[in-house]
Amino acid sequence: MQPDSTMIKKARKKRYEWPPPEGTEDVYVPRARNPIHSILTALPVIMLVVGLYLYYQGESEQSDSAPIRAESVNAEGIFTGLSVIKSGSSGGRHYLWFDQNGKSRGVRIQPAEAAILQSLSRGEPLRISMAPSVAGSRTFWAWYVEQGDVVFLDGSDKLQ
Protein backbone atom coordinates (compact mmCIF):
# COMPACT_ATOMS: atom_id res chain seq x y z
CA MET A 1 0.00 0.00 0.00
CA GLN A 2 1.35 3.34 -1.02
CA PRO A 3 1.08 6.18 1.52
CA ASP A 4 -0.50 9.22 0.02
CA SER A 5 0.96 12.65 0.47
CA THR A 6 -1.84 13.76 2.79
CA MET A 7 -0.80 11.26 5.50
CA ILE A 8 2.81 12.49 5.80
CA LYS A 9 3.20 15.25 8.30
CA LYS A 10 5.35 18.14 7.12
CA ALA A 11 7.96 19.72 9.41
CA ARG A 12 6.98 23.13 10.59
CA LYS A 13 10.48 24.21 11.70
CA LYS A 14 13.59 24.51 9.65
CA ARG A 15 16.07 21.61 10.01
CA TYR A 16 18.89 22.09 12.54
CA GLU A 17 22.27 22.96 11.03
CA TRP A 18 25.60 22.03 12.56
CA PRO A 19 27.77 23.94 13.15
CA PRO A 20 25.33 26.76 13.72
CA PRO A 21 25.82 29.79 11.52
CA GLU A 22 27.69 32.71 13.09
CA GLY A 23 25.72 35.57 14.50
CA THR A 24 22.72 33.66 15.75
CA GLU A 25 21.52 33.27 19.31
CA ASP A 26 22.17 29.52 19.06
CA VAL A 27 25.96 30.02 19.22
CA TYR A 28 27.48 28.67 22.46
CA VAL A 29 29.14 31.36 24.55
CA PRO A 30 30.94 30.16 27.67
CA ARG A 31 29.87 31.91 30.84
CA ALA A 32 32.39 34.04 32.71
CA ARG A 33 33.83 32.17 35.71
CA ASN A 34 33.25 33.50 39.15
CA PRO A 35 36.64 33.92 40.90
CA ILE A 36 35.19 32.84 44.25
CA HIS A 37 33.92 29.61 42.69
CA SER A 38 37.38 28.93 41.27
CA ILE A 39 39.03 29.42 44.66
CA LEU A 40 36.47 27.25 46.46
CA THR A 41 36.96 24.51 43.90
CA ALA A 42 40.74 24.55 44.38
CA LEU A 43 40.59 24.86 48.19
CA PRO A 44 40.56 21.11 49.05
CA VAL A 45 43.64 20.49 46.90
CA ILE A 46 45.43 23.49 48.45
CA MET A 47 44.54 22.28 51.95
CA LEU A 48 45.84 18.77 51.17
CA VAL A 49 49.15 20.09 49.86
CA VAL A 50 49.62 22.41 52.86
CA GLY A 51 48.71 19.59 55.28
CA LEU A 52 51.19 17.18 53.71
CA TYR A 53 53.89 19.83 53.75
CA LEU A 54 53.34 20.58 57.45
CA TYR A 55 53.23 16.87 58.33
CA TYR A 56 56.49 16.03 56.55
CA GLN A 57 58.18 19.17 57.87
CA GLY A 58 57.26 18.17 61.44
CA GLU A 59 58.30 14.56 60.82
CA SER A 60 61.70 15.60 59.47
CA GLU A 61 62.19 17.94 62.43
CA GLN A 62 61.39 15.04 64.80
CA SER A 63 63.71 12.61 63.01
CA ASP A 64 66.64 14.96 62.52
CA SER A 65 66.76 16.42 66.06
CA ALA A 66 68.46 14.88 69.07
CA PRO A 67 66.47 14.02 72.23
CA ILE A 68 66.25 16.77 74.85
CA ARG A 69 68.05 15.90 78.10
CA ALA A 70 65.88 18.20 80.25
CA GLU A 71 62.68 16.37 79.23
CA SER A 72 64.13 12.86 79.56
CA VAL A 73 62.07 10.17 81.35
CA ASN A 74 63.15 6.76 82.67
CA ALA A 75 60.87 3.72 82.42
CA GLU A 76 60.95 0.00 83.13
CA GLY A 77 58.86 -2.66 81.48
CA ILE A 78 58.69 -5.96 79.63
CA PHE A 79 60.04 -5.89 76.08
CA THR A 80 57.39 -7.01 73.56
CA GLY A 81 58.95 -6.27 70.18
CA LEU A 82 60.00 -3.90 67.43
CA SER A 83 57.90 -2.59 64.59
CA VAL A 84 58.24 -0.37 61.56
CA ILE A 85 55.66 1.72 59.74
CA LYS A 86 56.63 2.23 56.12
CA SER A 87 55.97 5.84 55.24
CA GLY A 88 57.31 8.56 52.99
CA SER A 89 60.46 8.88 55.05
CA SER A 90 63.52 6.97 53.86
CA GLY A 91 63.57 4.14 56.41
CA GLY A 92 60.08 4.37 57.82
CA ARG A 93 59.19 4.97 61.47
CA HIS A 94 60.65 2.40 63.84
CA TYR A 95 59.21 1.67 67.29
CA LEU A 96 60.40 -0.27 70.34
CA TRP A 97 57.40 -1.70 72.25
CA PHE A 98 57.25 -2.61 75.92
CA ASP A 99 54.57 -3.26 78.55
CA GLN A 100 54.65 -0.90 81.50
CA ASN A 101 52.25 -1.77 84.33
CA GLY A 102 50.02 -3.72 81.92
CA LYS A 103 49.89 -0.91 79.36
CA SER A 104 51.67 -1.20 76.01
CA ARG A 105 53.95 1.72 75.08
CA GLY A 106 55.81 2.47 71.89
CA VAL A 107 58.97 4.56 71.74
CA ARG A 108 60.51 5.80 68.50
CA ILE A 109 63.98 4.67 67.52
CA GLN A 110 66.21 5.57 64.60
CA PRO A 111 66.34 3.08 61.68
CA ALA A 112 70.04 2.44 62.32
CA GLU A 113 69.30 1.60 65.98
CA ALA A 114 66.65 -0.95 65.01
CA ALA A 115 69.32 -3.39 63.79
CA ILE A 116 71.17 -3.10 67.13
CA LEU A 117 67.99 -3.69 69.15
CA GLN A 118 67.02 -6.85 67.20
CA SER A 119 68.93 -8.93 69.73
CA LEU A 120 66.70 -7.90 72.67
CA SER A 121 64.87 -10.86 74.28
CA ARG A 122 61.07 -10.71 74.21
CA GLY A 123 59.30 -11.11 77.52
CA GLU A 124 62.35 -9.95 79.49
CA PRO A 125 62.42 -6.76 81.59
CA LEU A 126 64.27 -3.75 80.25
CA ARG A 127 65.19 -0.26 81.41
CA ILE A 128 64.76 2.57 78.97
CA SER A 129 65.45 6.30 78.96
CA MET A 130 63.50 8.36 76.47
CA ALA A 131 62.96 12.00 75.61
CA PRO A 132 61.18 14.08 72.97
CA SER A 133 63.34 15.56 70.23
CA VAL A 134 61.12 18.64 69.87
CA ALA A 135 60.18 20.66 72.96
CA GLY A 136 56.66 19.85 74.15
CA SER A 137 56.19 16.90 71.79
CA ARG A 138 54.43 13.73 72.93
CA THR A 139 56.63 11.59 70.66
CA PHE A 140 59.43 10.09 72.75
CA TRP A 141 62.69 8.75 71.33
CA ALA A 142 64.70 6.03 73.08
CA TRP A 143 68.27 7.09 73.82
CA TYR A 144 69.22 4.45 76.40
CA VAL A 145 68.12 0.80 76.43
CA GLU A 146 69.38 -1.81 78.88
CA GLN A 147 68.22 -5.41 79.31
CA GLY A 148 69.70 -7.50 82.10
CA ASP A 149 73.16 -6.02 82.55
CA VAL A 150 73.73 -5.44 78.83
CA VAL A 151 73.46 -1.90 77.45
CA PHE A 152 72.11 -2.16 73.90
CA LEU A 153 71.79 1.55 73.21
CA ASP A 154 73.52 4.51 74.83
CA GLY A 155 72.99 7.80 73.05
CA SER A 156 73.81 10.07 75.99
CA ASP A 157 76.48 11.81 73.91
CA LYS A 158 73.83 12.84 71.34
CA LEU A 159 71.45 14.50 73.82
CA GLN A 160 70.86 18.22 73.49
- Rg (the chain; Cα; Å): 34
Give the integer Cα–Cα distance in Å for 99 and 117. 16
Give the integer Cα–Cα distance in Å for 1 and 7. 13
Q: Is residue 73 within 8 Å of 129, Cβ to Cβ?
A: yes
pLDDT at 21: 66
Spans of the chain below 70 pLDDT: 1-6, 20-29, 88-90
Q: How far is CA 33 from CA 25, 37, 41, 44, 159, in A?
A: 21, 7, 12, 19, 56
List the one residue out of 84, 90, 77 whose CA is nearest residue 147. Answer: 77
Name the pTM for this structure: 0.67
pLDDT at 16: 75
